[in-house]
Structure 1
Amino acid sequence: MPHPGGVPNLSQAEWSRIPATEIRASAAVDFTAIIALSNCSGGLVRFEGSLSTDPAMVLTNGHCLDEGFLSPGTVMVNRPVFRSLRLLRSDGKASLGSLRAARVIYATMTKTDMALYGLQETYDDIEKNYGVRALTLSSRHPVAGRQITIPSGYWKKIYQCSIDRFVHELREDKWTWSDSILYKQPGCATIGGTSGSPIIDTETYEVIGVNNTGNDTGGRCTMNNPCEVDEDGNVTVTRKASYGQEVYWIYGCLNSRNELQLDKPGCQLPSGR
């Protein structure tokens, strides 16, 4: 999880010079609906009940916001923003165009590391203009052993592996995340800039999480060196381990109109209160 400024902010010209992963004809997942931010990656997503006329959404990490890292316990809700987001072509070799974030629907770095941008464009707008349909956020807990694909819009690179297991608590510097997703290596040795990439179940093509960090040098619970903490408080460090965070919790915090309601009974996302 690089410090703000730890990953270069790429201009359109700089980004266009990065070579893309070659997509095999048999590949189950490509760069469709994948987003490049100036400092991170993301995905164009929808809820299971989203309407085509709804404002579209982009999923990334809470630590990828222009505003910088959010303090533990802090949430951002319905914050007006203006941010340009590049929508990749399915082969990743070029941008189809720029989408415009109008607000942060929800963002936090507590329990999970996620941010949902609400766009000016609707799903209909994007499909008509670019021929792209959004990825669906899964409402179910991910399953260990499932094959996953992690497409990074920033690096135009695709990672493939499976879910190894779930970590009770993952601690990095002053942040703590719950039930984190550990990737089974090799295949998903993610790096800075891949933050915010959607974790896609290769079989269902649903987004089951969001990529966010990895242990770079074997450090213990420090920045860029997260550690695992089990139910008994035992700490484990695995150098070069990479992790993602879960996003299905958001479904327990939506009202009947698919609007965020953090005081809804059963909502498990931090409310910042």
Structure 2
Amino acid sequence: MTRRLIGILFAALTTTALVGTAAPATAAVQAANFAGTVALSNCSGSLVKLAGAADTDPGLVLSNGHCLESGFPSAGQVITNKASTRSFTLLNANAGSAGTLRAKKIVYATMTDTDVSLYQLNESYAQIKARTRISPLELASTHPTAGNHIDIVSGYWKRIYSCNIDGFVYQIKEGSWTWKDSIRYTPECKTIGGTSGSPIIDSASGKVAGINNTGNEDGARCTLNNPCEVAQDGTVTVRKGTNYGQQTYRFYGCLKASELDLKNPACALPKP
């Protein structure tokens, strides 16, 4: 997980070799583009909306909890409605800059059960589209499906990783953090530093099924940068080189007009 940040220093020294070296293009990869993705100072993200959101609602930017400008939330910590003026570079389909987005607050962020941050912007979706011609990506409202083809689109590196959902992990443990029902990728998605927070786009629907967040770098067991898988019976499995993401459908039931509503009985996100 932290290698998604620390790895940037190494990656920056080899950017020419990394950018544009994804697997050979397929029809699914060609269909994916960068419109609606964002580049943060240290991670990737995306401009997102829930199905049925109004154009007049404030825009939302989705990334990882460990990508917060304030540093990693501690295990058990949930951050809500915290003021922020963070800026994001919004990309167009060809990975060029479509303009800058500015946060108003962190609506929600945690590294407990999941690894997510959601920023509310100081412009509505309609205002963003009028200024940049970019529409938000839509969050899928249901659990993703094993075997589905996915594209992981990094706004930081302007690079697309293409593979399939290999399956779902009951728990992932990394250092002091635990994540539940995580997405495991097939080996083709070799995500690197700076790809944290990249939207995982289901190729069939074009909707965001999750966000990229971690991978086992050295083969170590449950340590920082080396997450392990924990089955429901407690069995621990280490998969060196395997990468993972977190699901995002749980935001449904927790947001109304881009504002947080954790008291809604339908909201399944961890509470403070």
Give the TM-score of the pair, scaled to structure 1.
0.91
For residue 108 of structure 1, the aligned residue among 107, 110, 117 is 110
Indicate conservation of the 8 Å contact 2:4/2:213, yes or no. no
Q: Distance in 1 between matches of 2:146 and 2:5?
A: 34
Task: Confirm or deny: 8 A CA contact 1:4 1:68 kept in the other structure.
Answer: no
The DSSP-based 3-state class of the residue aligned with 1:82 is: coil
Give the deviation of 1:3 after TM superposition: 6.4
CA distance in 2, matches of 1:100, 1:258: 15
Q: Distance in 2 between matches of 1:259 and 1:158?
A: 31
Q: Residue in 1 aligned with 2:171? A: 169
Cα distance change, pair 105–3 in 1 and its aligned pair in 2 (3 A): same
The 5-angstrom pairing of residues 1-273 of structure 1 reads 1-2=1-2, 6-8=6-8, 19=19, 27-92=30-95, 94-185=96-187, 187-254=188-255, 257=257, 259-272=259-272
Aligned residue pairs, count: 265
- Unpaired segments of 5 or more residues in structure 2? 10-14
Q: Identity over aligned residues, as a percent? A: 50
CA distance in 1, matches of 2:247, 2:98: 28
Instruction: For residue 263 of structure 1, report the CA deviation from its aligned partner.
Output: 2.3
Mark the CA change 1:76 to 1:3 in structure 2 (over 3 Å): closer, same or farther: farther
Deviation at 1:228, TM superposition (A): 0.2
Partner of 2:12: none
State the TM-score, normalizing by the size of structure 2.
0.91
Q: Is the 8 A contact 1:7 1:39 kept in 2?
A: no
> C-alpha offsets along residues 171-215 of structure 1, whole Å, 9 cap, x if unaligned?
000000000000012x21111110000000011110010100000
Question: Aligned partners of 1:25, 1:119: CA distance in 2, in Å?
Answer: 35
SS at match of 1:245: strand
Amino acid at match of 1:52: D
Indicate how the Cα distance of structure 1 residues 21 and 83 shifts in structure 2: closer, same or farther if over 3 A, else same. farther
Counterpart of 1:147, as a letter, is: H
Stretches of 4+ aligned residues off by more than 3 angstroms: 18-26
8 Å contact from structure 1 (residues 33, 88) kept in 2: yes
- Note closer, same or farther for the CA distance 1:52–1:157 as it changes in structure 2 (3 Å cut): same
- Matches of 1:62 and 1:153 in 2, distance apart? 17
Which SS does the other structure have where 1:6 is aligned? helix
Distance 2:227 2:26 in 1: 36
Q: Structure 1 CA distance, aligned partners of 2:35 and 2:5? A: 27
Task: Work out whether residues 20 and 91 of structure 1, in 8 Å CA contact, stay in contact via their aligned partners in 2.
Answer: no
Structure 1 or 2: more helix by fraction:
2
Residue by residue over 1:100-138, the C-alpha shift from the partner in whole angstroms, topping out at 9 and shown as x without a partner, is 011101111001101111011211112111111100011
* Amino acid in the other structure paired with 1:259: E
**Shift in alpha-carbon separation, 1:63–1:103, aligned structure 2, 3 A:** same
Gaps of 5+ in 1: 10-14
